[in-house]
Structure 1
């Protein structure tokens, strides 16, 4: 079975990663009742002999239990943060036993919301240490297929050191796919230098990633609010499960706070669960991760995939009656379900992947694709640009779910807005001195980064110019 290594960088990356591991363990425990290490677990976990240190932990009902065989499951991951607070919190939490303490890299001072500190300073300072731990993680994989990087774009460590690690992966493992989950800041982000950090990081993503899943904080916040409204509306006749991320322990819905990061991180973790489900479980139409890049990325730089999740109530951990499958497929293409502020239905598709979990038939997939095709605009040279995957194991407690990954020009407005925010600061040379005093950081780094982003936007412009032709051809 193909295996993967996860690299969590920065506060956001480690919080999302921790939530992913928690949910993944719950899923495997629901399928693997005996808690025995099996092929499905091997995709992201490895056995560790703990006979010298007593019984190790095992999975059962999402909890850590002891195993008589004196082995435990350890994740194939590298945790990096230049502020040790979040990693220390993880190591003191319920998942502490599944993290290998030798696969952690932390510092104490942080990157000060400065891409240059993360990339140029800490990157070169920790380079050898990072390479060594990446190699160690890779050695535990019999068939290493891809690296997942989870990070945010607006701060210093996630954007700077996260993209430094991406470059290292290309140098050290050029044949292994690099999937990047990047959380983009909103326009009202409280980090004033986030436009600099994001644009500088974008240049690295353009050049060194195979696939990028951009996710906007603003979209996550909107989805959390939507879930909250669904729970309170009573329209679905829903009853809220205990211990849901968007509910209190008493079972009543929480008031959504100003920055509900836990619930927002839960959405990103669910994206990763669906994305990796075919690698972890059996299915009638399983999709390898390398197939996503092969089928959805026709041009190297246009590797930004817009993701959507449906049904939304699955993310809220809410019990609701079964909804029609057709509605689930329709929702996947609606604006409200996208993880960035975008409307793919009214933009141009280069390709689209549908990853379905649960009791869904291939015929259901094909029927819904045929139903939706007339309302979607595909490039003229890839009218049948669909990739589908079916995993038989549904999310815990639910019958089915759908992840849509669209290579679509609807990402362009996000990049244009980012460019505008960058230029407002850069024209005034505001805050540049914080970056330029770092060794190896020059003003040309900024001009090259904004040029890279402008070129990317222009490539999307050229595709959008062909949309009218695509519409005419679809009508013929």
Structure 2
């Protein structure tokens, strides 16, 4: 069984990572009732005895004595990492699995990349080396971060570049959150372009997520939840007294959940569903390396749009499960995309589907036949579907579907970021904060690198 290491960088990356570790443990606990350290658990966890010594997988029948995450937490502000260490999840991480500072990057990519990168390079590499040594077969790195801040963008892209140098044979997946258009970090356009340029050159696959898209999904789900709650309340009012009816309503819609918690859940679910075939058995398992092989036809066109259905951000057991055919329709609608885009309006270079739960091969084939006539695919890649089925369903639902697409619609998101960058760059606004650490020509070169990728996607759109 192959292993993967999760590297979570900055406040955003560590918040998403926290949700991932919590949810993936719940998923394994549901499916591993005997408490055995098996192949599924070994993907993201190692087993240790009461003295903290590593217990190898062996014949797969050893009992779980203590789990440690195959991961590294990195942040130049210790707030979020400190919260994780004080929570029950803190037991998953040894002291050498956190690299922190108290100074912060000041929302400046150049500080994160050019100052803290070299300063903490050896400490970060040593932490990763220790995790790699405990892997039987290290297959991939999953990096989590954001584009808009200083640490996630600057130090995150530095780590990705370092991994490309030190572990060139191990695939590097980078899940990154793109800032909102009304982001309150004035320098986020600079940070985004500089980080994207590095990821274009050093990551194997980039999975962008837009804050605005996550917020739209959250608001839609909350609205649907409140509608179902109101319907149940009306039904209770017909069968019971008013006090009980109001109590039922408060028990559902009165629950307070911070939007960012739910938004982080969505991002964490992307990683959970994408790695489900690595962790569990299925009739058509997809090797994680197949995602790169099939979805990145050109080395620089590596941005993969993602969508999931159903998209319930809150624990709502009353939500009716989606019908199989409806899931396929939803996965290709703009409402289910984790970026602000309509994939049907643009050309697909490749597409992968990962179904979980009670989905049959015939269901996938039937729906692919329907979708193939509705979607625009590149002329050189008509048979561009990669499919997989994992028999283990997600938490709380009998089935789900993850769609991963290399779609030319991503150029719109990149163009919006580049437009915001140009507004600042033309006026040289706040540029002096960056030129203290990097040459001005490097900033212009980074912008050209991103524009070149936009042009390449535009060219493919016409093919």
TM-score using structure 1 length: 0.89
* Partner residue of 2:453 out of 440, 453, 456: 456
Tell me, in whole angstroms, the C-alpha distance in 1 between the residues paired with 2:375 and 2:232: 32
State the Cα distance separating 1:323 from its structure 2 match. Answer: 2.9
Q: SS of 1:293's equivalent?
A: helix
* Partner residue of 1:184 out of 156, 172, 178: 178
State the Cα distance separating 1:214 from its structure 2 match. Answer: 0.3
**Alignment-derived partner of residue 239 in structure 2:** none
Q: In the comparison of the two structures, how many residue pairs are matched? A: 442
**Alignment-derived partner of residue 25 in structure 2:** 25
User: Contact 1:236/1:320 (CA < 8 Å) preserved in 2?
Assistant: no
Question: RMSD in angstroms over aligned alpha carbons?
Answer: 2.1
**Alignment-derived partner of residue 99 in structure 1:** 93
User: Contact 1:335/1:341 (CA < 8 Å) preserved in 2?
Assistant: yes
Tell me, in whole angstroms, the C-alpha distance in 2 between the residues paired with 1:249 and 1:124: 54
Unaligned runs of 5+ in 1: 57-67, 240-247, 467-476
What are the within-5 Å matches in structure 2 for residues 83-162 of structure 1? 83-162=77-156
Q: SS of 1:234's equivalent?
A: helix
User: Contact 2:11/2:75 (CA < 8 Å) preserved in 1?
Assistant: yes
What are the within-5 Å matches in structure 2 for residues 65-464 of structure 1? 71-234=65-228, 251-253=251-253, 260-313=259-312, 316-438=315-437, 441-464=438-461
Tell me, in whole angstroms, the C-alpha distance in 2 between the residues paired with 1:340 and 1:398: 24
User: Contact 2:174/2:206 (CA < 8 Å) preserved in 1?
Assistant: yes
**Alignment-derived partner of residue 62 in structure 1:** none
State the Cα distance separating 1:320 from its structure 2 match. Answer: 2.4
User: Contact 2:141/2:171 (CA < 8 Å) preserved in 1?
Assistant: yes
Tell me, in whole angstroms, the C-alpha distance in 2 between the residues paired with 1:255 and 1:225: 15
Tell me, in whole angstroms, the C-alpha distance in 2 between the residues paired with 1:457 and 1:253: 43
State the Cα distance separating 1:204 from its structure 2 match. Answer: 0.5
Q: SS of 2:322's equivalent?
A: coil
User: Contact 2:105/2:112 (CA < 8 Å) preserved in 1?
Assistant: yes
Deviations 1:58-108 (A, max 9, x none): xxxxxxxxxx97820000001000000110000011211111221110000
Higher mean C-alpha deviation, range 95-104 or range 421-430: 95-104
Unaligned runs of 5+ in 2: 56-61, 234-247
State the Cα distance separating 1:230 from its structure 2 match. Answer: 0.8
Tell me, in whole angstroms, the C-alpha distance in 1 between the residues paired with 2:232 and 2:114: 50
Q: SS of 2:88's equivalent?
A: coil
**Alignment-derived partner of residue 8 in structure 2:** 8
State the Cα distance separating 1:381 from its structure 2 match. Answer: 0.9
State the Cα distance separating 1:256 from its structure 2 match. Answer: 8.1
**Alignment-derived partner of residue 59 in structure 1:** none
Q: SS of 1:8's equivalent?
A: strand
State the Cα distance separating 1:50 from its structure 2 match. Answer: 1.9
State the Cα distance separating 1:372 from its structure 2 match. Answer: 1.2
TM-score using structure 2 length: 0.92
User: Contact 1:50/1:70 (CA < 8 Å) preserved in 2?
Assistant: no
